[in-house]
Structure 1
Amino acid sequence: MSGPYAAGMNDSEVVNPARFLGRADAYAAARPGYPAALGAWLRDAGLLTGRVADIGAGTGRFTALLLDMGASVAAVEPNPEMRAHLEDHLSAAVRAGQLTVHAGTSEATGLADGSVDLITAAQAAHWFDPARTVPEFRRVLRPGGRVLLVWNDWRAVDSMFNRAYGEVVRQHAGDDPLRTRVLDDELPLHLPGGFERLTFTHRHPLSREGLTALASSVSYLPNQNDPAYPALRGDLNAIFDSHQSGGLVALDYQTQVFLGSVE
């Protein structure tokens, strides 16, 4: 496979990566990371002792957490711009042999049979087709391997700035932003062997430029080339001015974690 749009891929494999073309810089600059407590839990639970495949790795936010906890990681990402960010940001781990980077999707990872002990997908599994992804995960996992699905969700936290940001999103979203969450009744399709759920919380401070970049990184909001973007930026500036303290605002996130099996 030469890249994320190679012949033979289905429509979801082509369209979903394409939704983020031109957004990689903003994504790398402004998306939140993941709580250190989540990384410590993964390490202490012994889930990082084998090889980990991080699917839909994006610019490497979650990959970096895995590496910091000592994991050996294969990062799989279809978007070439995001993959380039990941390779550049985590180049030391690549040189050290702790990280390999692959062009692929959840339905066609390009990884060898039985080559990983844990599959992770952070802020990505809502794009996966479970009918094609689950067999691929079964193929690449070793016996007893697990799957970890993770989402940072600002909608799950009620704070003044979260409410203000949510109102801007509702005014400018081109489609329903809630579609970017796998709801509880859909999780059995992704984790048919059952799962457990954990939650963590963390705060993501943002400058004015960071808030604009965060919105620009979201697939359902206008990007900088969209005629609707100036109106979005004006509304973001307005809520920033109303809520900033010391030149920063903060979105509060609940990190939702689902650890399960595809067997």
Structure 2
Amino acid sequence: MQNPDRFLGRAAAYASARPPYPVALGEWLAGLGLLSGRVADVGAGTGLFTQLLLEHGASVDAVEPNPEMRSQLSSALAPAVAAGRLSVHGGTSEHTGLEAASVGLVTAAQAAHWFSPAPTVQEFRRILTRGGKVLFVWNDWRGVEQPFNLAYRDTVSQFYRDGDDPAYINRVPEAEIPQFMPAGYQKRVFGHPVQLSRERLHALAGSVSYLPSPSDPQFAAMTAALDRAFAAHAEGETVTLAYQTHAFLGALE
């Protein structure tokens, strides 16, 4: 199965349930002067990270191979498209369709684990201006020893798709980052707790490529198991899933 196909039928759940990104991350990037020009957001999905880039001053070329995701992105960020600050493209990390030397920063949020290093780096070199940077970002609840994080892990691990390696789910192992940023990188981590209603928790699980989709016969069993975890950990009408946002900023040369 091609990687974009794993998200077919999940775009609405993705847009409604996935966590945004911390304001502090946008402030850090803006403070480095990286958002004053044009940015390529590759694997942009439904535009959650694209929106943060726009809010902190960037003009963005959003590149996304999945047509359902692109449609969600274009609709959600229509004012930025109308204002000329956002262009939406069908493409991949290996073939973005962007012009050579057209962006000063390439970002990939919650997407870089799908990329093949060698052809991706070749394409990023082509579209970046001299001295341009590459940023990989992902939100990750794993490795945070909070009560609901542990309950969520124990619940969803029962429903992993066959063949999925939890070590590679949603992130690039740090030992492999130099393959994408051969001239070196710096790392920042931002705390990012997210409150989830029961409905948003269901949608969050349904948006994840390695779990049953809302149309899968196993989805009902998974949400029933999530309801039990929710009931055991809810404070009022929500539970808190404690994410950390990992950011790797590097260079190609």
Check whether TM > 0.5.
yes
- Please report how far the alpha carbon of residue 177 of structure 1 lies from its aligned counterpart in structure 2 after TM superposition: 2.7
Query: How far apart, CA to CA, are the structure 2 residues paired with 1:259 and 1:241?
Result: 39
Q: Which residue identity is paired with 1:55?
A: V
* Match 2:188 to one of 182, 188, 198: 198
Q: Which residue identity is paired with 1:179?
A: Y
Aligned to 1:212: 202
Q: Is residue 117–residue 146 contact of structure 1 (8 Å, CA) maintained in 2?
A: yes
* Match 1:67 to one of 32, 50, 54: 54
| 1:35-184 equivalence runs, <5 A | 35-174=22-161, 175-180=164-169, 181-184=171-174
Q: Which residue identity is paired with 2:140?
A: D
Query: How far apart, CA to CA, are the structure 2 residues paired with 1:178 and 1:19?
Result: 18
Partner-residue secondary structure (3-state), 1:156: coil
Q: Is residue 177–residue 220 contact of structure 1 (8 Å, CA) maintained in 2?
A: no
Q: Is residue 56–residue 121 contact of structure 1 (8 Å, CA) maintained in 2?
A: yes
Q: Which residue identity is paired with 1:115?
A: S
Q: Is residue 27–residue 217 contact of structure 1 (8 Å, CA) maintained in 2?
A: yes
Question: CA offsets, 1:233-257, max 9 Å, x none?
Answer: 1101101111111211111111000
Q: Is residue 156–residue 253 contact of structure 1 (8 Å, CA) maintained in 2?
A: no
Q: Which residue identity is paired with 2:103?
A: V
Query: How far apart, CA to CA, are the structure 1 residues paired with 2:20 and 2:67?
Result: 21
- CA RMSD of superposed structures (Å): 0.9
Q: Which runs of 5+ in 2 are unaligned?
A: none
Q: Which residue identity is paired with 1:229?
A: F
TM-score (norm 2): 0.97
Question: CA offsets, 1:60-85, max 9 Å, x none?
Answer: 00000000001111100000001000
Aligned to 1:9: none
Q: Which residue identity is paired with 1:60?
A: G
Query: How far apart, CA to CA, are the structure 2 residues paired with 1:91 and 1:229?
Result: 32
Q: Which residue identity is paired with 2:237?
A: G
- Please report how far the alpha carbon of residue 178 of structure 1 lies from its aligned counterpart in structure 2 after TM superposition: 2.4
Q: Is residue 117–residue 145 contact of structure 1 (8 Å, CA) maintained in 2?
A: yes
Query: How far apart, CA to CA, are the structure 1 residues paired with 2:125 and 2:79?
Result: 30
Query: How far apart, CA to CA, are the structure 2 residues paired with 1:85 and 1:246?
Result: 31
Runs (4 or more) in structure 1 with deviation over 3 Å come to none
Q: Percent identity?
A: 59
Aligned to 2:232: 242
Query: Does 2:182 correspond to 1:189?
Result: no
Partner-residue secondary structure (3-state), 2:129: strand
Query: How far apart, CA to CA, are the structure 2 residues paired with 1:223 and 1:39?
Result: 31
Query: How far apart, CA to CA, are the structure 2 residues paired with 1:224 and 1:50?
Result: 39
